[in-house]
Homo-oligomer: A and B are copies of this chain.
Amino acid sequence: MNSVPSRWESLCASSSVLRFVDVNLRGIGQVMFQDNPLSGALFLAAIAWGSFAAGVPQVLFGGLVAVVAATAMARWLRVDPASLRAGLYGFNAFLVGLALATFVAPGPLLWVYAILGAAVSVVAMSATVHVAKTWDMPALTFPFVLVTWLLLLATYGFAGLAGTALPAAAVVAPFESVAATRLDAGLFVQATLLSISQVFLKGSVIAALLFLAGLAVNSLSAAIAALAGAIVAVITAHLLGAESDLVTGGLLGFSPVLTAVALGTVFNRPGLRVAAYAALGTVFTVVAQAAFNVALTPLAIPALTAPFVLVTWMFLLARPALDAAAADQARG
């Protein structure tokens, strides 16, 4: 197996076209923290499947146009080459492209919008990295959330860009379930898998399996954390009495999945204490997701991955305490 990646790397070294493909695939892989072109390729296959199956091929193309535009923009700006090669200037743009093509009606202006959003996401990423490194923090998907929120809000002010599939604006009202909803085994599995695929704004079981495969080829523990995070999120949301459609559609689980992968495997060394800490963060991300859904109701825009960014930053900033504990445990 190891020979395939190394053959790919030597091919990239000899071809600027392949290097460009490699950077973009890594950019797609970085949506779930995987600096691996094969992960990116599997993620891309998942999105291709999900987009065509749902009859919205423009979502796939939106993502592709955006990630390519971002890579070009990042080269023009000459950002830090190591970060660029690792795909760190691509994943936010890729998500911007997917989100715009999902929430805005197709038309020429959509593509202008996607390229504008991708270019600005590179600037936003560079700015976020600059500020976040003050406390040794990663940028996460903050640039995606910020840029996409602005672009989506602005569609309400522009006749040229019609929002589709955007939530309707309303005054906040308590949710009351009409009857106790049961979550049987089939729905539970569906809810868990869609929680993973919704990281890329897709509601597809097959896409979810491809995403898990993309994680596993680079990091088995990341795949396990994603699955565990999804299960914790579904159970939490169900016990707190969340709307069934949100739970089974994976719409309360995608931010927690990212939190679980980030806190459980990427930025902390896996272990029992870290697992407990990541589980707390994952549970609280479900609360934060519900909170953002409510808070954004009057603005008629989706929460995207803002709950993940907020909770994960909070739990990473508090890490020194956790590390001290871990060091102490290691000594004991």
Q: Which residue of B lies closest to A238 (CB)?
A: B160
Known: A126-B317, A298-B298, A317-B130. A77 touches B157 (CB 8 A): no
Whether, in the assembled complex, A242 has its beta carbon less than 8 Å from a beta carbon of chain B, the answer is yes
Most B-side CB within 10 Å, residue of A135, A284, A300: A284
Known: A77-B321, A169-B172, A175-B157. A283 touches B116 (CB 8 A): yes
On whether the beta carbons of A116 and B287 are closer than 8 Å, the reply is: yes
Q: Least Cβ distance of A185 to chain B in Å?
A: 22
Whether, in the assembled complex, A162 has its beta carbon less than 8 Å from a beta carbon of chain B, the answer is yes
Known: A174-B156, A284-B120. A130 touches B290 (CB 8 A): no
On whether the beta carbons of A153 and B295 are closer than 8 Å, the reply is: yes
- Give the complex CA separation of A151 and B125 in angstroms: 29
Q: Which residue of B lies closest to A237 (CB)?
A: B158
* Binding site secondary structure of chain A: helix
Whether, in the assembled complex, A315 has its beta carbon less than 8 Å from a beta carbon of chain B, the answer is yes
List A206-256 residues whose CB lies under 8 Å from chain B: 239-243, 246
Q: Which residue of B lies closest to A134 (CB)?
A: B134
Whether, in the assembled complex, A11 has its beta carbon less than 8 Å from a beta carbon of chain B, the answer is no
Whether, in the assembled complex, A330 has its beta carbon less than 8 Å from a beta carbon of chain B, the answer is no
Most B-side CB within 10 Å, residue of A80, A161, A241, A321: A321
Mark A278-312 against chain B: 1 for CB-CB distance below 8 A, else 0: 00110110011011111100111000000000000
Q: Which residue of B lies closest to A318 (CB)?
A: B126
Which residues on B sit within 8 Å (CB–CB) of A175?
156-159
Which residues on B sit within 8 Å (CB–CB) of A130?
135, 317-318, 320
Mark A88-128 against chain B: 1 for CB-CB distance below 8 A, else 0: 00000000000000000000010000001001101111111
On whether the beta carbons of A315 and B163 are closer than 8 Å, the reply is: no
- Give the complex CA separation of A146 and B8 in angstroms: 47
**Can you name 27 A-B residue pairings with CB atoms under 8 Å?**
A79-B321, A109-B240, A116-B284, A120-B280, A122-B318, A123-B280, A123-B318, A125-B318, A126-B318, A126-B320, A127-B313, A127-B314, A130-B318, A131-B135, A134-B135, A150-B288, A154-B288, A154-B291, A154-B294, A156-B175, A157-B243, A157-B293, A159-B175, A159-B242, A160-B240, A171-B171, A172-B298
